[in-house]
Chains A and B, each alone.
Chain A
Amino acid sequence: MLTRRFFLRGSAMAMAGMGSAPLWLTRAAAAGSLKNKTLVAIFMRGAADGLNIVVPFGEKRYRELRPTLAVAPPSRQDNANGGPFGSTIDLDGTFALNGSMQPLKALWDNRQLAIVEATGSPDPTRSHFDAQDYMESGTPGRSVPDGWLNRALPPEPGASPLRAVALGNQVPRTLRGEREAIAIGNAQQFKIGDENTASILQSMYSLSPDAPFRRTGTDAFEAMKMLASLSVGAPGSGPGPGGPGRPSYGQGGDLGRSLQELARLIKAEAGVEAAFAEIGGWDHHGNENQQLSNLLRQFSSAIAAFCDDMGDRMEDIVLVTMSEFGRTVEENGDAGTDHGHGSMIMVLGGPVQGGKVYGKWPGLEKEQLYEGRDLAVTTDFRAVLSEVVRGHLGQNDLSAVFPGFRPGAPLGLLRA
């Protein structure tokens, strides 16, 4: 299999001959090691209900305020409410995973999964779109045009054009900014059909006076050339995870497909340092438990399949999941919940000190709730992300990544 290193030396010379070797190519060919760390951000759009995902089953108030929605505690696995949603997986005697997340149990047991409770944004907005904006840009209360993950990447002339990859049709706010980030839907289709016209079009875009198109077009063509140079496995080819008892991408829905695409790029050593994937549909205003189960099954299968697929490479990979806010502690009139405040964040990967629930649990008594209705936030989401950004990506200038935020004592999420 053609590795990036092997190709780069050859093609740097070939392309230099054509008079236009991109900087990243010559630099990278000169450099020796191409091992890099990868941080994957997974956004759960729609305000995921943290309390039914990581269940505080010991809390009396949880059951009182959610007579229909409360998920049964691990000791009682027969369903409490006449439906098939009644099971949980005990984590540490206080919290339990929703029963639909069985694929993540192995990661918890292997200490590759850490959970931060009662975390989120200090901003009071309950608008999905504003809150997502603030969380993605890392500046609660203010909307800025770039995102935290883009700012977290140090400037590196000659970095791979696939350094920051959004798996989907668009680059989300999280990855927008000064560093080049590209959106790849499907690596196989990310190319111009006809090679003759490809060079004409590349010239057109790279010289265009239309600045946004010039920038994005140049990025696209560079990424396209990079992908062509790698042996990115075709969908379905090569050994994937699967087989009896192993998690499968197929159960992971669109998120599974995205992470599978990412896995291919990482295996082809494309130099991906920051990646973004998303999964929507969490806005459960009505009939929550059934929809949540289905979604959690997909969510956990996708993540577990990716971790399984990456195998030893997980040493260099950290995934972090987040949602714009949580949901009301009390259920609403439709066996659902409305927009809330605090939620939970999952951090997964080889370098993670997993098998533990972090954060200070504020309790669910009325006076302990935010505005008397939502889980309070005791750990700012930026504290969690700061730790990961510094510890994993090696970015020490955190005031640039999260302007206006001063992290407190670290939680200890990553192994030293």
Chain B
Amino acid sequence: MKPVLLAIAAASLAAIVLPRPADATGPFEKRLTPEQQIVQALNRLTFGPKPGDIEDVRRMGLANWIELQLHPDRIPENPALETKLKPLETLRMNLAEVVKEYTPGQPGMTMAIPPPFESLNTLLSNEQRRKVMNGTAEERTEVLKSLDADKRKQVLASLPPNVISYTPDFKDEAADAQKERQEQLRAEARRRNPQLGDLLNPDQMAAARSNDGKRVAALLASLDRGRQIQVAAMLPLASLAEVPELRREGQRSRMPRLVASEDLREAKVFRAIDSNRQLEEVLVDFWFNHFNVDATKNVASLGNTPNLGHLLIGSYERDAIRPHVLGHFKDLLLATARHPAMLYYLDNWDSMAPGSFEVGPFAPVRGTVNGVPNSILPLFGQQAHGLNENYGREVMELHTLGVKGGYTQDDVIAVARCFTGWTVRSPENPEFVFAPFMHDFGEKTVLGHKIPAGRGEADGLQAIDILAHHPSTAKFISRELARHFVADDPPQALVNRMALTFTSTDGDLRAVLETMLKSPEFFSEGAWEARIKSPLEMVVSAVRATGGEVTDAWSLVQKIADMGEPLYAKLEPNGYPDTGETWLSTAGIMARINFPPALTSGRVPGVSPDASRWKGMDAPAIARELLGHDPSAQTLQAIETGLQGRDPAPALIASLILSSPDFERR
């Protein structure tokens, strides 16, 4: 009875998942086997299968599993993940809090503390001081001679060089006094900003410089708390891999803004490895790259706020991207357009209507500067202000219509004009604000739509509306999604169907994904192993496949950057190009080949592989376990021939599989 029911259930699931193909000719029309479909779904909707994932999906039923991943709120999150994210406190802070807590203290603190010596005002009387500083050489010499040796030394140390040169009698004494004063200052500076050698004895210094994570950890454990952080702040980050908390505190005492983005980088890797809501993580990665912001961009005109982007990036991903990845595209677009991270990154924050800052008290005063007539005099407030096209262009070229979407240079300017006044309140209080005095209230025409004069913030809102609903946007977004989830050059028929869903559901991204995930193309041979893993995907899938336990993600973040994908640090707004050829290079291959040996032998700090799971398994079995399918004959052949006559540890075999071309694809 039961087998029959199971068969019926399987058949009906198959019927849901696999619409009958017409003529199976091209690779995108050749259906995958049910077993392959499970692996395909895991490869594309997650960051790579973990041991046991295939069985879990088979038991639940593929269609059910996919449906569940499309509704992350129905998936209880991995409690171990919550524990790992806890120390990364900026993840939970709103923008105002992050800015307040992670902005460096006032520079120049040393200036506020008085220097450890007396000034001329206290050493000399007014008359004496006048004679020394402004009197004749005779007067000066007379005063100096009248002082006792000690006081004279202090006075000479404080005199400026031109005064001393007019007092030749005391030249040598002055030189000695000045030298002594310099040493006094140096000692004081050392006291306030100690070098490593001032805090540690020679044995401790050797341990600190050893670059051996365990020795460094032992050293730090032996110090008291305050000193721990002081020392940790002076060591290279790589040597602190065993003590993530101190590493973070040390960096926070030195460059706190960078800690905020580092939290996000480590969180990204933790989540990719441990989250149960895998599809959500894959989508956050995709959409962040689509709406790329570079955390490291310095907004140069904000003089004393370098590294501001680092503070904003966490909120950008959490508040602007993540909530909308399965929602409506227009909401995602609006959220990114309004977020301070994007406003700074693509310069919209200081784009304003031409001429808006050239009236009244700010009207430029012209004159001759350096012989050049009709120059703007460099008076306070007289900086050039006007329209900045950057966001206007990129929002169409990269975010919505695509470069061939049918916009013109006039549209770029019109869109930029719509967004004038969309700015940030201040670096200390970075929230969105609409500034009417910056806005260009004139009439505009965007992609054929007339936007009447005299409105305000609504201009930008209407521009968003126009862009989100433009037919090119549906096609562009569908193509990008199909490229990420199906193949580098996705079949046009599929893209068209997805675009149709996009248009008819007002940009419901979940619906578009459903169209794609239920398509024959998604589960076809054309899509099988068609994508080359990005460095993030390669590293994370290797850790997941080996069942590795990660207590600290810092080293993994570094490895991913070494392979060419520094997280949240892509300079250009188009993000990392989403095709295999981006990552397929000789340097890339070398880096990727070198990662698995370090991983499986436990040489990646913070990551513990579990070699026991491969105990007693031969090479084909280990390969099947790691890949989810049989390896290529060539890979197996190379391994078996190369290891012949040896008794290889399972970890070595696993490392060879993970370095093989087979594992580079998903």
Contacts and interface: CB of A to CB of B under 8 A. Distances in A.
Interface of A: 45-46, 63-64, 67-70, 72, 76, 78, 80-82, 86, 126-130, 166, 168-171, 182-185, 189-194, 197, 199-201, 203-205, 207-210, 212-214, 216-217, 219-220, 223-224, 280-281, 283, 285-287, 290-291, 331-336, 338-339
B587 interface: yes
B222 interface: no
Count chain B CB atoms within 10 A of each CB in A68, A224, A334 and give the residue with the most. A334
A68 B588 contact: no
Given A285-B389, A285-B390, 12 more contacts: A127-B397, A171-B586, A183-B586, A190-B586, A193-B597, A204-B639, A208-B660, A213-B589, A216-B584, A220-B589, A286-B347, A339-B393
A240 B300 CA distance: 33
| Main SS class of interface, A | loop
A286 B352 CA distance: 12
Given A192-B593, A285-B390, A219 B354 contact: no
Contact of B588 (A45, A82, A170): A170
Contacts of B572: 45-46, 128-129, 280
B378 interface: yes
B121 interface: no
Contacts of A128: 572, 574
B564 interface: yes
Given A63-B372, A183-B585, A194-B597, A333 B643 contact: no
Contact of A204 (B563, B584, B660): B660
A200 B384 contact: no
B590 A189 contact: yes
Count chain B CB atoms within 10 A of each CB in A169, A290, A336 and give the residue with the most. A169
Nearest to B564: A169
Interface string B132-150: 0000000000000000000
Nearest to A176: B581
Given A128-B572, A212-B580, A291-B300, A76 B371 contact: yes
Nearest to A170: B585
Contacts of B652: 197
A192 B594 contact: yes
A207 B638 contact: yes
Interface in B616-666: 632, 634-635, 637-639, 641-643, 652, 655-656, 659-662, 664-665
B383 interface: yes
Contacts of A219: 586
Nearest to B636: A204
Given A190-B590, A200-B639, A127 B403 contact: yes
Contacts of B351: 333-334
Contacts of B587: 168-170, 182-185, 190
Given A64-B374, A78-B370, A220-B590, A281 B571 contact: yes
B300 A207 contact: no
15 contacts: A45-B572, A63-B375, A80-B370, A80-B375, A191-B590, A192-B593, A193-B594, A199-B642, A201-B659, A203-B641, A203-B642, A213-B661, A286-B350, A333-B384, A334-B301
A277 B364 CA distance: 43
What bracket does the count of chain B residues touching chain A fall in? Answer: 35 or more
Nearest to B386: A333
Contacts of A46: 572
A129 B370 contact: no
Interface in B239-254: none
A183 B587 CA distance: 5
A335 B641 contact: no
A339 B389 CA distance: 9
A341 to B, nearest CB: 12
Contact of A335 (B370, B383, B598): B383
Contacts of A285: 347, 388-390
B632 A217 contact: no
Going nearest first, the 5 A-B pairs with the smallest beta carbon separation are: A333-B386, A200-B642, A82-B378, A169-B564, A213-B661
B585 A68 contact: no
B385 interface: yes
Contacts of B376: 67-68
B369 A80 contact: yes
Nearest to B582: A170
Contacts of B371: 76
Contact of A210 (B387, B564, B591, B665): B665
A213 B584 CA distance: 8
B201 interface: no
Given A169-B564, A197-B656, A287-B301, A212 B597 contact: no
B656 A201 contact: yes
A217 B376 CA distance: 59
B409 interface: yes
B432 to A, nearest CB: 19
A223 B403 contact: no
Contacts of A166: 585
Contacts of A338: 388-390
Interface in B533-564: 563-564
Nearest to A286: B347
Nearest to B634: A207
A204 B370 contact: no
A171 B589 CA distance: 12
A68 B655 contact: no
A76 B370 contact: yes
Interface string B344-372: 00010011101000000000000001111
Contacts of B585: 166, 169-171, 182-183, 216
B300 A332 contact: no
B289 to A, nearest CB: 14
Contacts of B369: 80-81
B300 A286 contact: yes
A331 B389 CA distance: 12
B421 to A, nearest CB: 13
Contacts of A81: 369, 375, 378
Nearest to B632: A209
B655 A336 contact: no
A275 to B, nearest CB: 14
A191 B594 CA distance: 8
A25 to B, nearest CB: 18
A69 B532 CA distance: 45
Count chain B CB atoms within 10 A of each CB in A81, A210, A213, A333 and give the residue with the most. A333
A63 B426 CA distance: 32
B364 to A, nearest CB: 8
B627 to A, nearest CB: 13
Given A204-B661, A285-B347, A290 B300 contact: yes
Count chain A CB atoms within 10 A of each CB in B586, B589, B641 and give the residue with the most. B586
Contact of B574 (A129, A223, A224, A339): A129
A205 B352 contact: no
B593 A182 contact: no
A334 B372 contact: no
B634 A332 contact: no
Nearest to A83: B378
A233 to B, nearest CB: 19
A245 B448 CA distance: 59
Interface string B295-334: 0000011000000000000000000000000000000000
A227 to B, nearest CB: 10
Contacts of A281: 571
Nearest to A290: B300
A333 B352 contact: yes
A92 to B, nearest CB: 21
Contact of B389 (A168, A213, A332): A332
A197 B393 CA distance: 50
A200 B301 CA distance: 54
A332 B387 contact: yes
A201 B593 contact: yes
Contacts of B635: 204, 208
Contact of B388 (A185, A212, A290, A332): A332
A287 B588 CA distance: 35
Given A80-B372, A129-B574, A286 B388 contact: yes
